[in-house]
Amino acid sequence: MTEIAELTPDGVAQQPRALRIRLVVNGNEVERTIEPRITLAELLREHLLLTGTKLSCEVQVCGVCTVLVDRRPVSSCTFLAADADGCAVTTVEGLASAGELHPLQEAFVDKMAAQCGFCTPGFLMMALALLEENPHPTREQIAEHLDGNICRCTGYAPILEAVESVAGITP
Ligand code: FES
Ligand code: FES
């Protein structure tokens, strides 16, 4: 990370007003100059136009903004973009490959686990993090892992069934 500081007339360095960061987003190298205060969600949505990542509570309560940073799920609404410097970030736009939906996306379609769809990117990224760490979680482990994500439409059962189907659990 490069700090771009300004000097006072006396030649004293002030707090940096801009940072140069480099990261990899969905496999693509990205380099941007940003204000130190901006969140990863702002970087993704406003600078990179990756609007699949949603924003709602913006206080790390609803899970809708979840993305992976170095394969770990984070709430991008409160995660500073500067802290993603040097990291690999995966968003919902990075799930499909060569025109094919990711198995989790297929399962959400098959099980009708998305209605309005606003919460879906967050659930997909959180579920992906779980399945990468534990490809065959129990139903209880899935429910526990997803309990920080809020959905107002589905009643949760179809979401659990979708993740279970990818995990090889037959309800
Ligand atoms: S918008 Fe980030 S947790 Fe709700
Ligand atoms: S599908 Fe509408 S909030 Fe979850």
Q: What value does the mean pLDDT take over residues 159-164?
A: 97
Name the residue with the closest Cα to ligand 2, atom 4: 151
CA pair distance 159, 123, nearest whole angstrom = 8
Nearest CA to ligand 2 atom 2: 116
Would you state the pLDDT for residue 5?
63
pLDDT band at 53 (very low <50, low <70, confident <90, very high): very high
Is the predicted pLDDT of residue 16 greater than 80, yes or no? no
- The beta-strand segments (E) located in the chain are 2-4, 18-25, 28-34, 66-69, 72-75, 88-90
Predicted local distance difference test score (pLDDT) of residue 43: 98
Q: How far apart are CA 49 and CA 160, in angstroms?
A: 30
Give the closest ligand to the alpha carbon of residue 150.
2
121, 104 Cβ separation under 8 angstroms: no
Is a pLDDT exceeding 80 seen at residue 91? yes
Q: Which domain holds residue 60?
A: 2-94
Q: How confident is the model at residue 168 (pLDDT cuts 50, 70, 90)?
A: confident
Please say whether the beta carbons of 33 and 18 come within 8 A. yes
Of the CA atoms within 13 Å of residue 60, those in its CB half-sphere come to 9
Do 88 and 11 lie in a common domain? yes
Residue to probe by mutation, ligand 1, list 45, 51, 62, 125, most atoms within 8 Å of CB: 62
Domain boundary among 76, 94, 112: 94
Question: What average pLDDT does range 97-119 have in this prediction?
Answer: 97
| pLDDT over 60 (residue 132) | yes
Assigned token pair, 171:
């309800």
Instruction: Point out the ligand nearest to the CA of residue 44.
Output: 1
Which of 61, 76, 94 is a domain's end point?
Answer: 94
| CA 14 to ligand 2 centroid distance, Å | 45
Question: pLDDT value at position 66?
Answer: 98
Q: How many domains does the chain have?
A: 2
Residue 171 lies in a domain: no
Q: Which atom of ligand 1 is nearest to the CA of 148?
A: 3
Query: Can you tell me the mean pLDDT for 91-111?
Result: 97
Largest CA distance in the chain: 70
Residues 23-37 pLDDT 10s = 999 999 999 999 999
Asked whether residue 107 falls in the same domain as residue 83, the answer is no
Does 134 fall in a domain? Answer: yes
Q: Please report whether residue 46 resides in a domain.
A: yes
Site to substitute for ligand 1 among 43, 45, 51, 60, most atoms within 8 A of C-beta: 60
pLDDT of residue 169: 72
Q: What separation in Å is there between the alpha carbon of 50 and the centre of ligand 1? A: 16
Of 129, 109, 130, 110, nearest to 120 by C-alpha is: 109
CB atoms under 10 Å from CB of 153, counted, come to 15
CA distance 139 to 58: 29
Same domain for 79 and 147, yes or no, is no
Of 116, 118, 126, residue with least CA distance to 160: 126
Q: Residue 125: which of 60, 29, 52 has the closest Cα?
A: 52
Residue 102 has a pLDDT of: 97
Q: What is the mean pLDDT of residues 64-89?
A: 98
> What pTM does this model have?
0.91
**Ligand 1 binding pocket includes 148 (Cβ within 6 Å):** no
